Amino acid sequence: MPDATIKGLVPSEVQYDGSNLRVAIVHARWNKSIIDSLVAGAVGKLKERGVKESNIIVQSVPGSFELPLACSKVISASQAQASSTATDLLGGAASLLSLDPMRTASPAPGSTVVNMPSKPFDAVIAIGVLIKGSTMHFEYICDAVSHALMRLQMDSGVPVIFGVLTALTDDQALERAGLGRGENGAGHNHGEDWGLAAVEMGSHVQRWGAGKF
């Protein structure tokens, strides 16, 4: 078993307050049981650090290859929403509603309409699960997605937490979602680490943006 003092995230000495943060989680649907556990772990830690449930927005896409585009559009939608003071968040096609008080919004099928403060996302968590098969598909997707997500956060200035498991076996993925079934036990849910990272990085960027250290 790996030495926990060497491998793993060292907890921050600072307890970051996420009460003023808005965070999006964009997840793929391949390997759903693992995805569900990772998303639950991330959401749990966001709430533990004070992020309001209404400020946690979860969106899904088919696979990990779609994550970079989806994260980019989610960031853009939140920024457009902030500038227009719209109240319908990503309703189906991310349409922006007028502020006519007599107008009633009709949510698109499968969407959730919530009233939100007009605030761009402070961080986005991209969650996917890639498990190596018998072809080169795994290598191509891992490389493309990791580079695209890194480029997105550099271009947008919004922290994009890399929550894509790149496992060689089913058991490796299960252990990293806290669902292990082998002699090493359940393992550790890395979604929790990603939730904490989103709060920390969102807080850092807010402070740095204000010229503070």
* Residues annotated as catalytic (active site), given as ranges: 137
CA distance 13 to 19: 18
> Length of the chain, please?
213
Distance set, CA 24 to CA 103, 119, 195 (Å)? 27, 12, 10
SS (H, E, C) 187-205: CCEHHHHHHHHHHHHHHHH
21 by Cβ neighbours in 10 Å (0-12 / 13-18 / 19+) ranks as buried
DSSP label of 143: H
Sheet holding 56-61, edge to edge: 56-61, 23-28, 123-131, 160-167
